[in-house]
């Protein structure tokens, strides 16, 4: 009957005692659960904020695509209305394309900066 009582030790107690035997005593006291859980929560909040910021910044890349579509759509409409201004309209369209693309690349650069350097 005594052997049955000895086998009913809870697994939590076994885990607690074996962890204390495997790790040095100084590591057990320095890395208490109170300190490590605060560090993990703080790191998770920082990572979440970083990912939310990067995701919000990527919206600018979608805006760049919309801007490029608007520029070339306006080029087609302008050319349909006045075909004699083809060369001038095309140069304006290329300028608008370059500016819109530059803003999209700037947003992408800021996104990578947020993700990989902060």
CA atoms within 13 A on the CB side of 88: 5
User: Residue 105 has what pLDDT?
Assistant: 93
**Superfamily of domain 58-118, CATH level 4:** F1F0 ATP synthase subunit C (1.20.20.10)
Contacts of 71 (CB under 8 A, 6+ apart): 93, 96, 97, 100
- For the chain, the structural domain boundaries read 10-56, 58-118
Mean pLDDT of 18-27: 52
Q: What is the pLDDT of residues 47-101, one digit of tens each?
A: 888 889 888 888 888 899 999 999 999 999 999 999 999 999 999 999 999 999 9
pTM here? 0.56
Residue 45's pLDDT is 85
Please report, rounded to a whole number, the percentage of residues in the chain having pLDDT higher than 70: 64
Q: How many residues does the chain have?
A: 118
What pLDDT sits at residue 77?
96
* Tokens 């909040």 -> residue: 45
């Amino acid at each position: 009957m005594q052997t049955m009582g000895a086998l009913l030790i809870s697994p939590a107690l076994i885990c607690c005692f074996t962890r204390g035997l495997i790790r040095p005593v100084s590591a057990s006291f320095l890395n208490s659960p109170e300190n490590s859980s605060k560090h993990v929560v703080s790191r998770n909040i920082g990572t979440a904020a970083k990912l939310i910021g990067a995701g919000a910044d990527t919206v600018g890349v979608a805006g760049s695509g919309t801007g490029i579509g608007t520029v070339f759509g306006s080029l087609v409409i302008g050319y349909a209305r006045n075909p004699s201004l083809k060369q001038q309209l095309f140069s304006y369209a290329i300028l608008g394309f370059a500016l819109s693309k530059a803003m999209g690349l700037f947003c992408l650069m800021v996104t990578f900066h947020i993700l990989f350097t902060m």
